[in-house]
Structure 1
Amino acid sequence: MTQDLPARMLRMLSLLQTRRTWTGTELAERLGVTLRTIRRDIDRLRDLGYPVQGTTGTAGGYRLAAGTDMPPLLLDDDEAVSIAVALRTATRGVAGIEETAVRALAKLEQVLPVRLRHQVATIQATAAPLSLPWSTGPESDPTVLATLAAACRDHEITTFTYRTSGGETGPRRVEPHALVAADPVWYLVAYDTDDDEWRLFRVDRLTGPTPTGHRAGARELPATDAAAYVAARLAAAPARYTFHATVPLDAKTARARTWSLPGRVHPVDETTSTLALAADNPHHIAEQLLGIDLGPTHTIHGTPELAPHLEQLGKRLLRAADALSRQDKQSKQRAEPQSWHEQ
């Protein structure tokens, strides 16, 4: 039994890190030991500095809480490599996290076993973040994200202050469900207990998230998953400009070429689909339309005020095309051999 103690404690610690609370009976069944052994191992983990909280009794529950110092974390091979990838590539939309992520990655690589160090070194050499023009936007506070993530995991009712798109600020009380990163904007999907409905909150407009200590029962999300819910809500949001058209493309191709949300493109048949584009910035719609052939004009309708913006972009493109055409003609003329009377 003594020889099995270190391995068993490491496995227990790994279990405690995977979810918020375990009952003593669950841990005993997972580890194949008695409840008395579980309680003894928990005491030894506490002596080693791991802040394990729990209640007494045969049905007592245990959880790994936050402490004054961070003890070592246990990661399996896949988790370690996944964290390395995330630290390198998943930092967009989070304020001030780039430098911190690089430091954490260096620490992780330093303690990795040899069998994984090559994999992480390869990732470092081949993967680099690139901020693209269309991926810029508001950044979220990493502390706020961490608080909300824990509340989502633990189904803990949370309060915060929220600023709407119209600038109105007020308190909210919600049951957090999930965080969704919509490159680069982060959204919180939550059930608003005051309005008694599901809501979508932009994390960059959210301040002072505070868990209440009260856990809520699981609610059924009105979508297949959180990402689908966010996509549907964004697609249904009102916008200043709209553009509708039937295009000679299947829905999958039309969506890819216009970078549209799923709810903005609908199939008609295998070769035709409808677009329902919307945006507050007319240039966004104009850019979406550049990748497709719109087909007959009688299938097009939308906000009339959008027309001059599309015309303006069209003229800019024509001027660019005309400049390239003139340049090409001049190059060809210089390359032609001179006639005898010019020599």
Structure 2
Amino acid sequence: MHPQLSICALLFSNTLAQAISDALSHPPQAEFPKVQYQITILRSNEEFCRFLEQEKQHLDCLILQGDNNLPYLVNWLHRQATLLPVVIILPEDSINQSVIPADGASPATSLDQAPGETEESLFTYHIAEVSMPVTESNNISHYIDQAIARFINLSPACRVTRATSTAEVNPESDQTSLQQQQRRLSEKLKERLGYLGVYFKRNPQNFLRHLPAAEKQELLEKLREDYRSIVLCYFLEDGTLNQRIDDFVNAAFFADIPTAQIVEIHMDLMDEFSKQLKLEGRSEEILLDYRLTLIDVIAHLCEMYRRSIPGNLKDENL
């Protein structure tokens, strides 16, 4: 069985709906040629909302027809704290620079940075949306690939959406939804498309060494806090330990964190604990046991790289 991606489309044009359905049945040259698309095409707002309420946890991407109906849908999605990769199909006369060309070139707007006042007009649903001209319907599989890649590669520090007077968006709710969906889609892609696909989906703009100083500091602080939580529950009967390690490794992988940086985080934390133990008049020997934590985390990260990096790149690095 070929892997499947579940797509939900809200399309009011019969001609467009047929074109999208045909294109996904026989994608010309998808980024992952063996992927099959399971698409549900809906024709009304009511059907769309009911379907998403029931199936949003199983969906991989949305396709929305860009018209006067779109603001209503965006407000509803935000109120439901529903963030998903999306392709917005625009009529020819409304195409702007947010459209990703069929050759895969990146748009002018950086996905790492929160949009400013002049940038907010470049997105409607969230900052990782992909716009597509209606004339590119036969290349829809390409735009779906791009939408999923942009969504997964969003920096944890960026502002994803903007609140509107009618949507009453809770930024924290949106951020939580983003993190949950990113984790779910990353796991699904690893299972369905293989680690090779995940490796090539990494966005160099989100690598630690390429982030602005403020975002770099914020990411490192988050990694330190996540690592601290792993250490504190490592020797406890905590059912969340494996998930904590996976989340930490996933963040380190997509940010291309050097192992030396992880060792530094570990040593800084051990130094902090050592000072605390001295103040309490307790032995520091217990800290030696936490070398197992560091080994475990680095082993997970190395395994992720081993399974993801193509064989030809491995050979070059030997």
Q: Indicate whether the TM-score tops 0.5.
A: no
Structure with the bigger RCO (C-alpha within 8 Å, sep 6+) is 2
The structure with more radius of gyration: 1
Q: TM-score, normalised by structure 2?
A: 0.27
Higher relative strand content:
1
Q: Which has the higher helix share?
A: 2
